[in-house]
Amino acid sequence: MTELLRLFTRAHKLLRAASDEAMSAHGVRIGQNLVLEVLWQTDGLTPGELAGRLQVSTPTVVNTATRMEAAGLLVRRRDPADGRLVRLHLTDKAREAQGPVEAARRRLAEHATATLTEDERRHLRSALEKIIERMGSWPAQGADRGTD
């Protein structure tokens, strides 16, 4: 039964490594991809907003943003109306990476599930959704953040 957890860990590690490797070719590391996916849709969010959408802690977003800034993927701008806020804006470089990065991820997902039938993929997706849903009711988990 707990072997399911092990399988999960193993599969995730492989997928993560492959994903990182695939995106690195386009100047994007795996942790930055989450941020990009949101900012490609909605530019100029704050670290806190991003953290909420990504279900990640704010320091994680801040640190990732710092690395992305160093990598020339985004710039920080102080919100003129509220001096506490910082708005993250993508650079052209980041926008140009969208196509290639999304394509790379699509290829990866297809490769990983190549030996699954369409039906199996649907089942997998469904099972993952159920698990995610279910884990919201884990004692120490659902308590605070996560309002998206």
Partner DNA sequence: GGCAGGTCGTTAGCGTGCAAACGAAATCTG
Partner DNA sequence: CAGATTTCGTTTGCACGCTAACGACCTGCC
Residue 52, CB-side half-sphere exposure with 13 Å CA sphere = 8
What mask of x and - would describe binding to DNA in positions 12 to 51, judged by CB under 7 A?
-x---x--x--------xxxx-x-----------xxxx-x
Q: What is the DSSP letter of 57?
A: -
Q: Please report how close the Cβ of residue 119 comes to its own copies at its closest, in angstroms.
A: 9
User: Residue 5 and residue 15: Cα distance in Å, rounded?
Assistant: 15
Interacting residues with DNA between 79 and 138 (CB under 7 A): 82-86
Q: Which range in 36-44, 65-73, 104-112, 129-137 contacts DNA by CB under 7 A?
A: 65-73
Positive or negative, the Cα torsion across 38, 39, 42, 44? positive
> Over the range 50-80, which residues count as b (16 or more CB within 10 Å of their CB) and which as e?
bbbbbebeeebbbebbeebeeeebbeeeeee
Does position 113 bind its own copies by CB under 8 A?
A: yes
Task: Let me know: does 68 contact 130? Beta carbons within 8 Å.
Answer: no
The binder of 84, among DNA, its own copies, none, by C-beta within 5 to 8 A per type, is DNA
The correct pick among 37, 60, 98, 100 for binding DNA (CB under 7 A) is 60
The binder of 131, among its own copies, DNA, none, by C-beta within 5 to 8 A per type, is its own copies
Q: Which range in 9-17, 57-65, 67-75, 80-88 contacts its own copies by CB under 8 A?
A: 9-17
